[in-house]
Amino acid sequence: MLHTNLSINEKGHLTMAGVDVVAMAEKYGTPLMLVDEQRVRENCRTYVQAMKEHFGGDSMPLFASKALCFKGLYQIVNEEGMGTDIVSPGELYTARAAGFPLEKAYFHGNNKTDADIQYAIDAGIGYFIADNREELTEINRYAGEKGLVQKVILRVTPGIDPHTHAAISTGKVDSKFGTAIETGQALELIKEILTLPHIDLVGIHCHVGSLCFDSKPFLDAADIMIAFMAEIKKETGKELHVLNLGGGYGVRYIASNPTIDIADNIRQVAAHVKEKCAQFGLALPQVLMEPGRSIVADAGLTLYTAGSVKTITGYKSYISIDGGMTDNPRYALYQSDYTVLNATRAADEPDMVATIAGRCCESGDLIQEDVKIKRPVRGDIIAVLVTGAYNYAMASNYNRIPRPAIVMLGCEEKTAPGADRDYVAVKRESYEDLIRNDC
């Protein structure tokens, strides 16, 4: 199947991590998100080990928690030796509640408010990834008030031409994120930062985009970033020792997507970084990467119950499900590809082509169009694969639809023999939850 943690059992049901997903739908109801804990851990280990091996020293991956954020996940990521990238005080609050060591937390975002900055400093955030001058002014002021020196990494834009890499959209000069190297503004800002007494500038950061299936964008970014580090050293005398290359490796959503060997890609990036540093006479920095999608996407799937199957004569067929854009807005937002199948009859050959439609009052509430699928009857379980990233994290209560539960399928080695491997990591929202803040 699409990923090695998926299979079909003797009943013809889809399984993930060896667990019958139809049985999970019966036990917990739908819509339901399942997360394969073992797969999350393996994805973490791939990064942790490859970065240690190829970059050496204290280089490490930070989990970009915007991809999927709940307490249990921060605990797993921490156990696996990763840091974390957070983009809001809400994510920081969750990490803190999970007992995540905040000295390994990096606070991102292109518009941190004064309140955000103060909250993070009070909480003992390890690093800010500063986006702009206004933020830096407040970080310096508040750190001064608290009598401390705050570690900061500056986000810069390497100015990689997005036309060379279609997937790249955040690293170009014209971006709401960071400060441009090309225009000279980044160097200017760094000179200013070096005069701020309560900021310790340790490195620079870039994030070139998302869904990269090879390392070309990372290699190009590394070239520009390392050359810039050399320029900073020459112009200011300051040798920065942290290079954060951001996130962005892709995952396989559909059969025609390539598979990607993350460990081998990290090896290539490391070889390149070492070569460039040697060329510029710089010591090898601590390298950080920020994978989000490639840690959790293929560990997740979403289960729905099929309702009506409607064929419009001469047009097309719609299969309606009991969820949709409220738990997975990615197709509505950017026509993302997904693999959809009838989990109840996973062994049967597809016999129809259908559009999978959600239950919201929006014609655009679709999960996927033109899916080849075994015709469901009302009550069959429909599975959408590879939904671990940017699904639950983007969920809403539109139409006052409660968010689904997240059920983890625990690691075999950690489960007592004969015990159930599934456990609830995030409860399904109740109707009371929906009116909780209504006065």
Phi and psi at residue 123, in whole multiples of 5°?
-80, -10
Query: Is 247 a binder of ligand PLP (CB under 6 A)?
Result: yes
Stretch in the footprint of ligand PLP (CB under 6 A) among 93-101, 130-138, 181-189, 289-297: 289-297
The answer to the question of residue 292 lying near ligand PLP (CB under 6 A) is yes
Give φ, ψ of 426 to 5 degrees: -140, 125
Q: Give CA–CA dist 201/207, Å, rounded.
A: 18
Between the CA atoms of 316, 362, 384 and 396, what dihedral angle is there, to the nearest 10 degrees? 180
Applying the rule CB under 6 A, the residues between 141 and 200 that interact with ligand PLP are none
Among 158, 246, 329, 410, binds ligand PLP (CB under 6 A): 246
Site for ligand PLP in 375-434 (CB under 6 A): 389
Peptide bond into 197 cis (omega under 30): no
Smallest gap from residue 229 Cβ to ligand PLP (A): 19
The number of beta carbons lying within 10 Å of the beta carbon of residue 55 is 23
Q: Which of 89, 128, 77 is nearest to 105 (CA)?
A: 128
Note whether 64 binds ligand PLP by CB under 6 A.
yes
By C-beta, is 85 or 380 nearer to ligand PLP?
Answer: 85
The residues that are catalytic are 361
- Tell whether residue 96 is a contact of ligand PLP (CB under 6 A): no
CA distance linking residue 228 with residue 364, whole number of Å: 44
Report the alpha-carbon distance of residue 234 to residue 84 in Å, rounded. Answer: 32
* 344 touches 11 (CB < 8 A): no
201 to 240: interface string for ligand PLP, x by CB under 6 A: ------x--x------------------------------
Least Å distance between CB 347 and ligand PLP? 33
Nearer to ligand PLP, 208 or 343 (CB): 208
Q: Which of 178, 248, 300, 358 binds ligand PLP (CB under 6 A)?
A: 248
d(Cα 370, Cα 372) in Å, to the nearest integer?
Answer: 7
Any contact of residue 91 with ligand PLP (CB under 6 A)? no
Give yes or no for residue 285 binding ligand PLP (CB under 6 A): no
Q: Which residues pair with residue 357 across a beta bridge?
A: 320, 366
The residue within the footprint of ligand PLP, chosen from 291, 323, 324, 376 (CB under 6 A), is 291
* Residue 300 within binding range of ligand PLP, rule CB under 6 A: no
Q: Kindly indicate which of the ranges 178-186, 284-292, 312-320, 341-349 contains the residues binding ligand PLP, using the contact rule CB under 6 A.
A: 284-292
Residue from 41, 108, 165, 172 touching ligand PLP (CB under 6 A): that is 108
Find all residues with CB under 8 Å of 437, minimum gap 6, and list them: none
67 is a contact residue toward ligand PLP (CB under 6 A): yes
Considering the complex, state which of residue 20 and residue 131 has its C-beta at the smaller distance from ligand PLP. Answer: 131
Task: Write down the least CB distance from residue 64 to ligand PLP, Å.
Answer: 3
- Please name the residue that has the structure tokens 């560990």: 299
How far apart CA 355 and CA 316 sit, in angstroms, is 8
| Chain centroid to CA 273 | 24
CB of 23 to ligand PLP, least distance (A): 31
In the list 290, 298, 322, 365, the residue contacting ligand PLP (rule: CB under 6 A) is 290
Distance CA 41, CA 301 (A): 16
Please list the residues that pair with 107 across neighbouring strands.
86, 128
Taking the alpha carbons at both ends of the chain, their separation in whole angstroms is 49
* CB-nearer residue toward ligand PLP: 67 or 201: 67
Site for ligand PLP (CB under 6 A): how many residues? 16
**Does residue 298 bind ligand PLP (CB under 6 A)?**
no
Helix spans in 323-430 (H) = 330-334
Q: What is the Cα–Cα distance from 108 to 64, expressed in whole angstroms?
A: 10
CB neighbours of 173 closer than 8 A, spacing ≥ 6? 157, 159, 180, 182, 183
Which amino acid is located at 374 in the chain?
Answer: K
Nearest CB to ligand PLP, comparing residues 86 and 373: 86
Considering only 37, 80, 85, 220, the residue that binds ligand PLP (CB under 6 A) is 85
Instruction: Give whichever of 47 and 304 is closer to ligand PLP, judged by the CB atom.
Output: 47
Radius of gyration (C-alpha) of the chain in whole angstroms: 23
Nearby residues of 211 by Cβ (< 8 Å), 6 or more positions away: 167, 248, 250, 293
Shortest gap between Cβ of 177 and ligand PLP (angstroms)? 7
Q: List residues binding ligand PLP (CB under 6 A).
A: 64, 66-67, 85, 108, 207, 210, 246-248, 290-294, 389
